[in-house]
Structure 1
Amino acid sequence: MVNKISKKELIEFYRVFGILLLSKLSVIDSLEIIFKQSKKNQLRRVIKVLIADLRAGKSISKSFQKHSKIFDEVFIANLYVAEETGKLAEVVSEYSSYQEKFFDLKQKIIQAARYPVFVISISFGVIFFMLYYLIPSFETLFFSVNANMPTITKILLAASNFIVMNISFLFMILIITLILIYFLLKTAFVKNKIIDQVLIKSPIISKFYLHNLLARFSLSMGILLKSKVPLEHSLRISRNISDNSIFINEINKIIYSLTKGKTISKNLIKSEIFDLTFRKLIATGEESAELDKVFYLISEFYSKEFDNKINSITTLLEPLLILIVGLIVLIVLVAMYLPMFEIINYIGV
């Protein structure tokens, strides 16, 4: 399928396409060079169709719009404006930088979650190994000498026995639970009424989520407005950077207020998403008629805020997670070795 072109491949395409256009090569010549250099079959197929359409007399924007599942609305809107202004090379080059920044913002979320998920997974793996393999080997020894076991040891042995005897049932329950969670997350009610609400209103999660969301939204608005895409159309395109229903509703309200002659900043007063800093900066941009520059500044501001928060929480989580794993292992080892001392004393007697 041609729509399986990776984000990294697309970013590289935009980067090279922009450089070639800035070098005064024609659109077709630039695409032909990329076609010859590319080793990705999916991308080559798309470029081949683009070249054929352009040679047939289609406009650049129409040719790219034909592949709307690959080239997003922001890029297509920029191409339409570039055709009118004659600044295609500058627009594509600017869009390449935009895509790199946008990709980095999304990757930061993944990178921030990767370490905690890895440590937690290892923790569960260690706990399972001890309960399923290690502890049962001690049980026979303890009972053979009628060792006096502390409460914590008895609890661990009971948990171990339960897991060993019901492993198939527990595994089945786990699979069913994961499948149910997957399908529940896909339902509109759970997503719109629970997940979206948590992301926006949760005291801890919202700080990370909103800063990243505002950085991406502002970056999208900045490049569109800089390319002279009308404000209302820029908002319609930029709302698609997220599928959060609360965010989309907020943007829809702004779009509606614009049709009534109101400014963006006035419509943000009671917003759950756009904070005071955002509102003040937008008001400044509206007064100075430089909204495009202000949106770029907002994107930089929230991107740095997001980075600072991620670095802070990562610095805190790393030793904390290691400590938790260490404590779990220590508790299990102590629970197993306390009866061993009694056995040693018993043998010594």
Structure 2
Amino acid sequence: MLNSITHKDIIEFNKTMSLLLISKISITQALEILIEQIKNTNFQQIVKKVLKDVTRGKTLSNSFSKYPKLFPPIYIANIKIGEETGNIARVVSEYTSYLEKNQNLIRDLKKAARYPLLVLLVSMAVITFMVFFLIPTFQNLFSSTKVSLPFVTQLIIDSSRFIENQFIWLILIFGALASIIFKSKDSKTFKNIIDKLLLRTPLVSKLIIKNLMARFALSMSILLKSRITLLEALKIARNTSSNHIFKKEVDIVIKRIIKGESLSANTSTSILFDKTFSRLLFAGEQTAELDKVFGMISDYYGKEFEYQLDVITSLIEPILILVIGVIVAIILIAMYLPMFDLINYFGV
């Protein structure tokens, strides 16, 4: 039911809600209007239940908290502050901006993997064609003669024959592995392994860390703007990330702050937070404007992430094309090498 509700639906909901509340329309009226405008029937049913709760006297934050997948703790915490200050409209408006910025960061990260994946799929299709159609054709030609084949040619033909003969088993093994990965993808152990691998992979690790920093700082900025305590903000911002290694690092920071240490001092010793992050935080602590500083940090790392993304994409594209080109060239050369002996064999 909830899976059919997209990020776009949630952003549109909050955007319209903030406009209605800014226009001095009551919460109940705003929800009634939203129910009429929402196109997703599942989302519409949830908002109807929220409206029913609100008309019975429950707070908006309490009603929303029943649906944590749609309205996460960061949203509920901000709504509660909005209820206490009587300024829910501003809180919802700021949260909408947060959602849009966060969505852009996630979209850019996905975009980084899209083109290399496409190139890999095309290359796999080309190599599959060569293995099942091109190489067997040459194999039949070579087997009908007594020409001795070069080592590379023989190796490629043997590999092609093995793949062709064991194709069903290979598909079954691949399917079983894919099934195990799919079933394990939500387990903590599997996620920890993937997170560790990604954070140890050259180039990719830098990209992921920049993205994590930008999103974490964005969460901290919106929470601190709403006058939520630093400790509470850290606990909520921690849960906005799905990266388990990052969560553990934030947990360490939280424990040290409880002991009385400063935020900037804690992040300076972390394996994920760099010196720039810590220095900017130190400046924010000195001026008592951490919310603004976190906003600046988010913008800074967001731009750094985009730059790093462009650099990595520009490197990966030609490298992938070169590697695939070399593989195809080796196969073609290996197939055509024996042709010189065939010419002599037929006495041409």
Q: TM bucket by the smaller chain?
A: over 0.9
The corresponding residue for 2:37 is 37
Contact 1:3/1:70 (8 A) holds in 2: no
Letter of the structure 1 residue corresponding to residue 308 of structure 2: K
The corresponding residue for 1:338 is 337
The corresponding residue for 1:236 is 235
Displacement, 1:181?
4.1
The CA distance in 2 between the partners of 1:294 and 1:343, in whole Å, is 74
Displacement, 1:89?
0.9
Matched, 1:310 2:309: yes
**Structure 1 residues 151, 110: closer, same or farther in 2, change over 3 A?**
same
Moved more, 61-70 or 79-88: 61-70
| Percent identity between the two aligned chains | 44
Contact 1:2/1:46 (8 A) holds in 2: no
**Structure 1 residues 164, 259: closer, same or farther in 2, change over 3 A?**
closer
Q: Where do 5+ consecutive residues of structure 1 fail to align?
A: none
TM-score by structure 1 length? 0.93
Contact 1:54/1:60 (8 A) holds in 2: yes
Matched, 1:79 2:63: no
Any idea what the Cα deviations from partners look like across 1:287-346, whole Å, max 9, x if unmatched? 100000000000111111111011011112212222222222222222223334544554
Moved more, 140-149 or 262-271: 140-149
**Structure 1 residues 39, 245: closer, same or farther in 2, change over 3 A?**
closer
Contact 1:214/1:302 (8 A) holds in 2: yes
Any idea what the Cα deviations from partners look like across 1:268-287, whole Å, max 9, x if unmatched? 23211111111111111111
**Correspondence 1:40-119 to 2 at 5 A:** 40-119=40-119
Displacement, 1:198?
3.4
Contact 1:94/1:223 (8 A) holds in 2: yes
Moved more, 276-285 or 199-208: 199-208
Any idea what the Cα deviations from partners look like across 1:215-255, whole Å, max 9, x if unmatched? 11000000010011111111110001223333222222322
Moved more, 123-132 or 145-154: 145-154
What is the count of residue pairs matched by the alignment?
A: 348
Letter of the structure 1 residue corresponding to residue 156 of structure 2: L
Letter of the structure 2 residue corresponding to residue 196 of structure 1: D
The corresponding residue for 1:214 is 213
Matched, 1:279 2:275: no
The corresponding residue for 2:20 is 20
The CA distance in 1 between the partners of 2:281 and 2:65, in whole Å, is 31
The corresponding residue for 1:329 is 328
Contact 2:203/2:312 (8 A) holds in 1: no
The CA distance in 2 between the partners of 1:247 and 1:290, in whole Å, is 24
Letter of the structure 2 residue corresponding to residue 123 of structure 1: S
Letter of the structure 1 residue corresponding to residue 137 of structure 2: S
| RMSD, matched Cα | 2.0
SS of the residue 2:337 aligns to: helix
The CA distance in 1 between the partners of 2:272 and 2:209, in whole Å, is 7
Displacement, 1:347?
4.3
Any idea what the Cα deviations from partners look like across 1:59-103, whole Å, max 9, x if unmatched? 111121122232111111000000111111111111101001111
SS of the residue 2:125 aligns to: helix
The corresponding residue for 1:253 is 252
The CA distance in 1 between the partners of 2:240 and 2:200, in whole Å, is 19
The CA distance in 2 between the partners of 1:181 and 1:3, in whole Å, is 20
**Structure 1 residues 312, 282: closer, same or farther in 2, change over 3 A?**
same
The corresponding residue for 1:223 is 222
The CA distance in 1 between the partners of 2:28 and 2:184, in whole Å, is 47
**Structure 1 residues 203, 338: closer, same or farther in 2, change over 3 A?**
closer
SS of the residue 1:268 aligns to: helix
